[in-house]
Amino acid sequence: MAQTAGLPAFGAAVAADADAIVVGHGLAGLVATAELVAAGRKVLLVDQEPQTGLGGQAYWSFGGLFLVNSEEQRLMGVKDSYDLAWQDWLGTAGFDRGVDDPAGQDYWAYRWAQAYVNFAAGEKRAWLAGLGMQWFPMVGWAERGGGLADGHGNSVPRFHVTWGTGPAVVEPFERLVRAGAAAGKVIFKFRHRVDEIVRTNGAVTGVRGAVLEPSGVARGRPSSRTVIGDFELRAPIVIVTSGGIGADHDLIRQNWPARLGKAPGRMITGVPAHVDGRMLAITERAGGRIVNPDRMWHYTEGLHNWDPIWPGHGIRILPGPSSMWFDATGRRLSAPDWPGYDTLHTLGTITASGYDYSWFVTTQKIVDKEFALSGSEQNPDLTNKNIWLLLSRIWQTPEPIQKFQRYGEDFVKAGTLPELVAGMNRLTGTDLIDLTDLKRQIDARDREIDNTYSKDAQVMGIRNALSYPGDSLSRTASAHRILDSDAGPLVAVRLNVLTRKTLGGLQTNLQGQVLDPSGTLVPGLYAAGEASGIGGGGVHGYRSLEGTFLGGCLFSGRAAGRAAAAATAT
């Protein structure tokens, strides 16, 4: 199968407006544009959102990046390697759809995964550091897995939080693109909604769409869809970097896989409203092949945002390992459904319960030490690079968490277990939580704390976490009884399903070139980021190791931008 394709033949009557059109000004689009500009190409950067949305979802992120055998890992005493990371990726992804068949849905996804893990273990850190990025030295341990060495999960901590969070990931590429604009190499086309990818004689030759009325809404707020005109732009290359379907609950339910049970009737939304998936169908109509549409990534620890920015705005708790997790009826979840271990397995367990929410039952001591919130705006210390505010986490609960406890609708706080249970039932308008049964389960777990040894695997996991300096210093409370009054008050948190990522998408080769259903290249058509399943139509397979979404957008945007630059060389 061809890996590269030259310029499509335009014909004398067709004049190009630029060397390439990039559709979508999120992280992948900025990276692709920066690569094209570095090669001296002229780019039209098109997006339906106003200028305030530049950077897309990445701006709102926690800034976590998956790195392998990094300086930060070595500083924390973590021994990592490409071989270990590749073992973890394969055990997590579970590729099973034609890995060795060029027509298979996982054929290119598998090869993208190999390339990405090699990138994460190789030049990724040096490349980003050269652009000015830095990382918080305590590496996080996300997705700890299901308990087998060759199964799901990270064997070691690999979640590197960028100093400055999501905005600091976006900034180097926005800076390069704006410099390109100042030099006349980039033309921004804000408020231009692409409705069609144009093909001429089989090759992509541009895009058509609607011009939307000007909008001054703040970043993340829904913008107007009022049409004031139309447009057509021409170029021999179109790169689609428009994101996934995370804000469209109907599309999520339409593609929801049976393996995750029944789709929740109620979900909250982890991405702005413009993450609508429109360009996926538009690119499919232009000949692109969509693969693995049933693979998706949604979180189980979602909170209703007390101060929302977009409709249904949810925030995720990034939990440490100590809170007890119960389903809506008060039944404790078992392995591997513990905080921070196996997101999608836990999601399936929750949907199988017949309810669309679950509970943490924990202590204020655990909340203070272990709870973090997703989102750049929920971490002003890291986002604003404020060392003193960051250090204040040692002696006080971070203010964003205090506000969620004070104003959020999902928290219950009480001095005694009977009061806590009453509050939980009052919050849901049910009597599903039985005090006697809940106390029996908590007492059983608490007895396991009194001994150095334990048969409770979650308790063993807590002790394992405490053996890692990064967790013991910043992310794991000392092991204690949930009903220890000195650790109180007691806290219960209703956890909602939070929509987030599309793991399938447009199938691409390693240059980001989009394939059609027969496996043939669509001349002039490229894709990157979430629109391409963050690479190849599904680089993650069924599940993610975390820190791989931003990194995948960086990697796929770079690959598509460089390949498009090579294809337009004169």
* 116-139 residue pLDDT tens: 999 999 999 999 999 999 999 999
Q: How confident is the model at residue 14 (pLDDT cuts 50, 70, 90)?
A: low
CA 250 from chain center: how many Å?
A: 20
The pTM of the whole model exceeds 0.75: yes
Per-residue pLDDT at 5 exceeds 70: no
Alpha carbon separation from 84 to 6, 67, 69, 156 (Å, rounded): 38, 12, 10, 9
Provide mean pLDDT across the span 187-191: 98
Q: What angle do CA 272, 386, 124 make, to 5 degrees?
A: 65
Of the CA atoms within 13 Å of residue 403, those in its CB half-sphere come to 14
End-to-end CA distance of the chain: 24
Q: Where are the beta strands (DSSP E) in 32-161?
A: 43-47, 64-66, 159-161
Residue of 46, 58, 19 lying closest to 35 (CA atoms): 19
Alpha-carbon dihedral angle through residues 511, 513, 517, 522, given to the nearest 10 degrees: -140
Residue 299, both tokens: 């979180």
Residue 425 CA to residue 559 CA, distance in Å, equals 52
Give the pLDDT confidence of 325-364 residue by residue, as tens digits.
999 999 999 999 999 999 999 999 999 999 999 999 999 9
Residue 445 CA to residue 440 CA, distance in Å, equals 9
Across 155-190, b (16+ Cβ under 10 Å) vs e yields: bbbbbbbbbbbbbbbbbbbbebbeebbeeebbbbbb
Residue 500 CA to residue 244 CA, distance in Å, equals 9
Of the CA atoms within 13 Å of residue 116, those in its CB half-sphere come to 33
* Lookup result for tokens 């959102």: 49
Residue 508 CA to residue 532 CA, distance in Å, equals 7
What pLDDT score was predicted for residue 394?
83
Helix (H, G, I), strand (E, B) or coil at 441: helix
Residue 239, both tokens: 């790169």
The residues pairing with 44 across neighbouring beta strands, listed in sequence order, are 21, 187
Most distant CA pair in the chain, distance: 82
437 or 390, which is more confident: 437
Per-residue pLDDT at 57 exceeds 80: yes
Give the pLDDT confidence of 68-122 residue by residue, as tens digits.
999 999 999 999 999 999 999 999 999 999 999 999 999 999 999 999 999 999 9
Residues 6 or more apart from 314 whose CB is under 8 A from it? Answer: 268, 269, 270, 302, 303, 304, 305, 496, 498, 499
Residue 358 CA to residue 486 CA, distance in Å, equals 26
Give the pLDDT confidence of 404-450 residue by residue, as tens digits.
999 999 999 999 999 999 999 999 999 999 999 999 999 999 999 98
* Lookup result for tokens 């249970």: 421
Provide mean pLDDT across the span 48-61: 97
Provide mean pLDDT across the span 465-476: 94
Per-residue pLDDT at 3 exceeds 50: no
Residue 370 CA to residue 413 CA, distance in Å, equals 17
Residues 6 or more apart from 454 whose CB is under 8 A from it? Answer: 448, 460, 463
Other residues' Cβ atoms within 10 Å of the Cβ of residue 149: 11
Residues 6 or more apart from 208 whose CB is under 8 A from it? Answer: 194, 195, 196, 198, 230, 231, 232, 233
Q: What angle do CA 160, 69, 34 make, to 5 degrees?
A: 60
Residue 359 CA to residue 353 CA, distance in Å, equals 12
Residue 255 CA to residue 265 CA, distance in Å, equals 14
Q: At what angle do helices 165-182 and 548-567 cross, to 10 degrees?
A: 20
